[in-house]
Structure 1
Amino acid sequence: MADLHLERAEARRIAVRAQLLSAERPVELLPLVEQLTFLQLDPTAAIAPSADLIVWSRMGSSYRPEQLQQAIEHDRTMFERKSQDDPTQPPFAMIRPTSDLGLHLSPTAGFPREHAWIAANESFHQDVLNRLASAGPLLSRDIADTSTVPWVSTGWTHNQNVTRMLELLVARGEVATAGRIGRQRTWDLAERVYPPFEFVPEEEAARIRDARRLRALGIARAQMVGDAGVPATVEGSKLRWRVDPDAVGRPFSGRTALLSPFDRLIHDRVRSQDLFEFEYLLEMYKPAEKRRWGYFALPILHDDRMVGKLDAAADRKAGVLRVNAIHEDVPFTATMRADVDAEIADLAGWLGLEVAVG
């Protein structure tokens, strides 16, 4: 089969539509998360927590953060867990639809080193389950560390035996995040948190996950989604692509949006550079004097183009959303500037703040 050939503008529009950032805004939280497949959690809240900012970028000010908490802790239509596809990289927390439990949990989850550690700590494993059964939900500090072999790591998880055991048991479907007290998670037996579900065999689950990932992205580099979708070439690109065939040829109407630095539209920096000609780096870990765009600059989408970055911060004590700079990757037209200003005003209103420039 010959590769599907896409003009660059069509490839961008496929990506924007798939991420629900076109003019037709979603109106319900759960279908939004089902399409995106997950929301990434990050504690940085220079403007707002990333998961909330990602939803606001799509639903607008009709969205309230309490809706996400309600879905996770009360309705149980979403669940929280950490994911680590690469053992050399730290895991990151995410929220997924509960309907996808069987695709992301497995009784054999984990890397070989993790399997060996759990086997060496079987009594500790049972102690954790027994403690939760008798008194859960609990904070991790309320669970005794009875490990016989400590978890060894060069990172922050070193000797964090209780938390490490809990995370691994979440991946196996034995334990679940039940809720939060402030930023701290509470833990309980999975059977008391999740509705009944069945594990999907790993080979089938991987195939479905690839298909869901491609549907959420619209178009992706081939190595990111396996054999999902159909092969494609993009005008002017030397990369190998896979595209969701159902996303091709659909009408497009764009809008302006301010994105989280963790937004999946721009998360794959190679794709962003190739399709959108957009250079971006989250600079909060850089010294202030070395930042080009700001501590937590928000990428700016206009129609099907990434056009700049917003350097802003929520100063809640002063009651303002402080706009330090708007970096234009391309010269803004009067319409673009008006649209960006309107989004900034909407963001400030959603946060309950006033806009302050400079």
Structure 2
Amino acid sequence: MSNPYSRQEWQRLNLACQGLLDAPTDVADAVNRLGYVQIDSIHVAARAHHHVLHSRLPDYSQTDLDAAQARGEIFEYWSHAAAYLPMADYRFSLQRKLALKNGDRHWFERDSQEMREVLARIRAEGPLRAADFESAKGRNNGWWDWKPAKKALEQLFMEGDLMVLRRDKFQKVYDLTERVLPAHVDCREPGEQEFAGYLIDRFLGAHGVGTVKQMAYLRRNVQAALTRELAERREQGRLQSFKADGQEHWFDPARVPPAALPDKVWLLNPFDNLIIQRERLRHWFDFDYLLEVYVPEAKRRFGYYTLAVLWQDSFIARLDVKADRDKKLLLLRQLTLEPQAYDAAGNLKPFLPALEQAVADYARFNGCERWKLELCSDKQLKSHYRRQQWLQP
């Protein structure tokens, strides 16, 4: 069939599915609607997983995530990366766990003896961190230099014998799965087609439209099953598809785009669910985003930790941020405006009040009392914000 909606309508549907237009009720609802929330350790500002939830839950507190995990509403495991997942999806983590138990490799060689010893300690002593196991080598230099006990803990976690009970100062606290997993959770391993259906449901639920490649993002050996399941659902009338740019895009015809968007700015971190698939971001939003954390400083164009600035349905800027927690100051180290920030006459579009509100909200979320713009691609805008901005009480 032909494409039923305009690009702008698909953008609106995507934003609605992402929980950016109507706020989820709580953390569990947000994680369920998104399918996952990626965990990341970068700490120049609030960590990515907390920021993703803050972007969708206006009154979000970082303790809310811990509480949802303690209640057994979400759990930590591997999606395309380390993530918080809905507890209802636990059974769909079993394929990877069983594959690892049966010989697939994660990051390093399996040390069965060390794993038995680690497991025995946790069984006897209760929840433990990697730091609770002594290391003969002293301080390690990265994941490739982990002490044997830490490797064993991670392998037991990936294979499913251990779960993360909570995090203490971002360190995983492990316990036996049988002591963490709620008793009501379904633990039946899904079949190939059922797993494909799960990937389809999760992706379209979170984005509204997608290709097989996008649904299979960073997962191996699933595209054939996805293709079969999508074709069957089309025959049943549950899904439809259209061709665009040489690719087939799938969608649920029961979901329709909202009629309008609020006059709002969202600051989205590099791991936000809306922007994590860069090719998809370019296709639907015409925004070419690159995380420059791993780019040498001299070669960075936009900054170390750059947020994507979304106004209504357009990405209008990139904003490099750093929270100076001691001074309670949010540094806007570099604001780079996109062409979409200007109208045909070269004037800034009327997004500044919404941007100021978004920055103020983000500053408060980072425990800051004021913000300061250091560099800006627009000289007039830099002059406009030449003084640091104190937040209203």
Report the Cα distance in structure 2 between the residues aligned to 1:356 and 1:159, rounded to whole angstroms: 39
SS of residue paired to 2:143? coil
Q: Which stretch has the larger CA shift, 225-234 or 42-51?
A: 225-234
How far the C-alpha of 1:242 sits from its partner, in A, is 2.0
Q: 1:256 to 1:247 in 2, by over 3 A?
A: farther
TM-score in terms of structure 1 length: 0.84
Q: 1:239 aligns with which of 236, 240, 247?
A: 247
Cα RMSD for the two superposed structures: 2.7
- 1:319: Cα distance to partner? 1.4
Kindly indicate whether residue 351 of structure 2 is the aligned counterpart of residue 341 of structure 1: no
How far the C-alpha of 1:4 sits from its partner, in A, is 4.5
**Offset at residue 296 of structure 1 (A):** 0.7
- Indicate how the Cα distance of structure 1 residues 306 and 157 shifts in structure 2: closer, same or farther if over 3 A, else same: same
Residue from 91, 96, 105 that aligns with 2:85: 96
Indicate the SS of the match to 1:306: strand
On the 8 A contact 1:118/1:165 being kept in 2, the answer is: no
Q: 1:82 to 1:143 in 2, by over 3 A?
A: farther
Alpha-carbon distance between aligned partners in 2 of 1:116 and 1:263, rounded to the nearest angstrom: 25
Correspondence 1:176 to 2:166:
no
Structure 1 unpaired stretches of 5+? 86-91, 146-154
**CA contact under 8 A between 2:40 and 2:49: conserved in structure 1?**
yes
- Structure 2 distance, partners of 1:170, 1:116, is 11
| CA deviation map 1:226-263 (0-9, x unaligned) | 345432335xx443322233333443424321101111
1:76 aligns with 2:63: no
1:57 corresponding residue in structure 2: 55
SS of residue in 2 equivalent to 1:44:
coil
1:286 shift after superposition: 1.6
Please state if 1:9 is matched with 2:8.
Answer: yes
User: What does 1:1-358 correspond to in 2, within 5 Å?
Assistant: 2=1, 4-22=3-21, 24-60=22-58, 62-72=59-69, 74-83=70-79, 92-106=81-95, 108-110=98-100, 113-114=103-104, 121-143=111-133, 156-157=143-144, 160-196=147-183, 197=185, 198-203=187-192, 204-225=194-215, 226-227=226-227, 228=230, 229-234=239-244, 237-254=245-262, 255-329=264-338, 330-332=340-342, 333-353=348-368, 354-358=370-374
Matches of 1:9 and 1:300, distance apart in 2:
17
Matched with 1:88 is none
Following TM superposition, by how much is the alpha carbon of 1:77 offset from its aligned partner in structure 2, in angstroms? 1.4
Whole-Å separation in 1 of the counterparts to 2:147 and 2:254: 45
Matches of 1:116 and 1:81 in 2, distance apart? Answer: 13
SS where residue 134 of structure 1 aligns?
Answer: helix
Q: Which has the higher contact order (CA 8 A, sep 6+)?
A: 1
2:115 and 2:149 in contact (8 A); partners too: no
Q: Which amino acid aligns with 2:286?
A: E
Q: Following TM superposition, by how much is the alpha carbon of 1:31 offset from its aligned partner in structure 2, in angstroms?
A: 0.6
Point out where structure 2 has 5 or more consecutive residues left out of the alignment. 136-141, 216-225, 231-238, 343-347, 375-393
Shift of 1:53: 0.7
How big is the shift at 1:334?
A: 4.8
Structure 1 window deviating more from structure 2 (28-37 vs 135-144): it is: 135-144
Q: What do residues 7-36 of structure 1 show as CA deviations (whole Å, max 9, x unaligned)?
A: 2111211211111122x2334221111000
Per-residue CA distance 1:68-96 (angstroms, 9 max, x = gap): 11112x2121111234x5xxxxxx32111
The one-letter code sitting in structure 2 at the alignment partner of 1:76 is G
CA distance in 2, matches of 1:76, 1:99: 10
Shift of 1:59: 1.5
Find the residue that maps to 2:175 and give its secondary structure: strand
Q: 1:287 to 1:144 in 2, by over 3 A?
A: closer
Change (3 A) 1:301 1:233: farther
SS in 2 for 1:138: coil
Letter in 1 for 2:241: P
Q: Distance in 1 between matches of 2:153 and 2:214?
A: 29
Q: Structure 1 residues 134 and 249 mapped into 2: Cα distance closer, same or farther (>3 Å)?
A: same
Q: Identical aligned pairs, as a percentage?
A: 27
What secondary structure does 2:9 align onto?
helix
Question: Are the counterparts in 1 of residues 110 and 152 from structure 2 also a CA contact under 8 Å?
Answer: no
Which secondary structure does the structure 2 equivalent of 1:20 belong to?
coil
Q: Deviations over 1:145-197 (max 9, x none)?
A: 9xxxxxxxxx9346654333333333333211122222221111001111122
Q: Is the 8 A contact 1:17 1:252 kept in 2?
A: no
Tell me which moved more, 343-352 or 120-129.
Answer: 120-129
The separation in 1 between residues aligned to 2:132 and 2:148, in whole angstroms, is: 13
Q: Secondary structure at the match of 1:262?
A: coil
Q: Distance in 1 between the 2:106 and 2:256 partners? A: 46
Deviation at 1:269, TM superposition (A): 1.0
Alpha-carbon displacement from aligned partner over 1:312-332 (angstroms, at most 9, x marks no partner): 211112211112232111234
Which residue in the other structure is 2:139 paired with?
none
- Does the Cα contact within 8 Å between 2:100 and 2:106 map onto a contact in 1? no
Give the aligned length. 336
Which residue is equivalent to 1:152?
none
2:235 is aligned to none
